[in-house]
Structure 1
Amino acid sequence: MTELGETDRPAGIRLQKVLAAAGVGSRRHNEELIDAGRVRVDGEVVREQGRRVDPETAVIEVDGERVVTRTGLVHLALNKPRGVVSTMSDPEGRPTVADLLTEFGSAPGLFHVGRLDADSEGLLLVTNNGELAHRLTHPRYQVPKTYQVQISGPLRKETLRRLRSGVELSDGPVRADNVRIIDQAGAQILLELVLHEGRNRVVRRMLDEVGHPVVRLLRTQFGAVHLGNLRSGRARHLTRHEVGALHGAVGL
């Protein structure tokens, strides 16, 4: 009996190997997941060991969470400092997001997801996954973002209610999904504000409209991704679970 030539082999890569490359676990662990019926491929539970899949096109889930298996994709969290502009290049020579990503320079096509204005700080997602980036910033998917906002008081309860119920801006109304006071020192108040809007400088414009200009603005969360203890000016790769949660939030 002759051995199979390369052109005669079944197409694709073994599922347990694809899962291992995506960081799910060892091949043996992944075989146990498959035996337990915890893995789906294109919506179908797979219990067959050795099933071959195309990691570039297959939709693979473990325990209902998407596992991204396409090669070459990069998903980063960056803690943008104040004074850095949310662009990959700047004709005026100002410091940019790209300047903070030199250690990831070999990854092709990186770009930022949405923006933080130059005076704002905190979590900015950076990726070369165009479809994910598009959906994360599309109003249809209403991905929430959380900010810590320092303002000067005093702050009336009526103002908090107004932020929740809606503020009229020049380009239409906007309301906070949630807003609360998390700290206060003298006249300085620290708010936590959650909203899914992505309009230009929307947080600053909301607070200007209610008479409390922003002193400092820090984004701490974007969807399932938290800023955590990531140092200012540094970036990290998103975890497999964070990437899967972002895909799930926008129906990918």
Structure 2
Amino acid sequence: MNAEPVRLQKVLAQAGIASRRHSETLIAQGRVEVDGEIVIQMGIRVDPATAVIRVDGKRLPPASANAYVVLNKPLGVVSAMSDPRGRPTLAAYVESRAERLFHVGRLDADTEGLLLLTNDGEFAHRMAHPSYEIAKVYVAEVDGRVQNKTATRLRTGVDLDDGPIAADAFKITQVHDDRSLVRLTIHEGRNRIVRRMLAEVGHPVRRLSRVAIGDVRLGSLKPGDLRDLSADELGGLLDSVGL
């Protein structure tokens, strides 16, 4: 059931874009788009739950009761709300939230970093679906000295038991006597895919962290802490998965 139509400048103001008066200026300047059309007339009403609104090209997330959260998952925590083996789970980190959250995809217990949680089932389904090719960025500490030719090989692609895989981007950031630090971007979500591709080229992972999904960055969020997605972050992800 659609919400009652609301004046566009009110929607912008409620989203924190600008005051109602300044929102009217944005509209008059042709900087606001609704459902693919630039709007310049005042008084237009929209359904805040379904209208696709952009300001200066940036998507404004629709009004929603759903929650979209970033967690910096600590090392050793299982990507589940319960575990029959008694291992630490995500439940301890979301118990203060009123919503019943579930994780979008997963990280292995021995992988730390950015994990999305939500109560929006369709969003979670699309984010996990391989057809949308959402980029994920990892930082890995690996055994050995990674060479430029190895980086080229990973960008070109390696063959694993369940099919080929290539890094969208790969950068060697540090090299020491017996270890290297690398940064790689992939858009696939196969089980332990980063660890397997690095092991395939002779550099087993010592430590692995996911630092970004799409335009969402882990930043300075501490292990075990969580925050809500910003409007820009959520808008970008909704665009990426066609919502």
- Which residue of structure 2 lines up, in the alignment, with residue 90 of structure 1? 83
Displaced runs of 4+ in structure 1, greater than 4 A? none
Tell me how far 1:11 sits from its aligned partner: 4.2
- Measure the CA separation in 2 of the matches of 1:32 and 1:129: 34
- Measure the CA separation in 2 of the matches of 1:158 and 1:37: 50
Q: Is residue 18–residue 69 contact of structure 1 (8 Å, CA) maintained in 2?
A: no
Asked whether 1:78 is paired with 2:86, we answer: no
Give unpaired runs (5+ residues) of structure 1.
Answer: 1-9
1:107 aligns with one of 99, 103, 108: 99
- Which residue of structure 2 lines up, in the alignment, with residue 3 of structure 1? none
- Measure the CA separation in 1 of the matches of 2:209 and 2:85: 25
Q: Is residue 68–residue 243 contact of structure 1 (8 Å, CA) maintained in 2?
A: yes
- Which residue of structure 2 lines up, in the alignment, with residue 4 of structure 1? none
- Which residue of structure 2 lines up, in the alignment, with residue 29 of structure 1? 22
Query: Which is higher, the Rg of structure 1 or of structure 2?
Result: 1
- Measure the CA separation in 1 of the matches of 2:155 and 2:36: 39
- Measure the CA separation in 2 of the matches of 1:230 and 1:214: 23
User: TM-score, with normalisation over the residues of structure 1?
Assistant: 0.89
User: TM-score, with normalisation over the residues of structure 2?
Assistant: 0.92
**% same residue:** 54
- Which residue of structure 2 lines up, in the alignment, with residue 164 of structure 1? 155
Matched residue of 1:215: which SS?
A: strand
Tell me how far 1:135 sits from its aligned partner: 2.3
Matched positions, count: 241
Instruction: Give the direction of change, closer, same or farther, for the CA distance of 1:156–1:71 in structure 2 (3 Å limit).
Output: closer
Tell me how far 1:112 sits from its aligned partner: 1.4
Spell out, residue by residue over 1:183-210, the C-alpha distance to the aligned partner (whole angstroms, 9 max, x if none): 1233121011111111111001111222
- For residues 29-178 of structure 1, the aligned pairs below 5 Å read 29-103=22-96, 105-108=97-100, 110-178=101-169
Please provide the CA RMSD for this pair.
1.8
- Measure the CA separation in 2 of the matches of 1:144 and 1:82: 22
- Which residue of structure 2 lines up, in the alignment, with residue 236 of structure 1? 227
- Which residue of structure 2 lines up, in the alignment, with residue 7 of structure 1? none
Q: Report the AA paired with residue 153 of structure 1.
A: G
Tell me how far 1:169 sits from its aligned partner: 1.2
Q: Is residue 149–residue 214 contact of structure 1 (8 Å, CA) maintained in 2?
A: yes
- Which residue of structure 2 lines up, in the alignment, with residue 181 of structure 1? 172
Q: Report the AA paired with residue 213 of structure 1.
A: P
Tell me how far 1:50 sits from its aligned partner: 2.7
- Measure the CA separation in 1 of the matches of 2:55 and 2:212: 24
- Measure the CA separation in 2 of the matches of 1:89 and 1:27: 46
Q: Report the AA paired with residue 212 of structure 1.
A: H
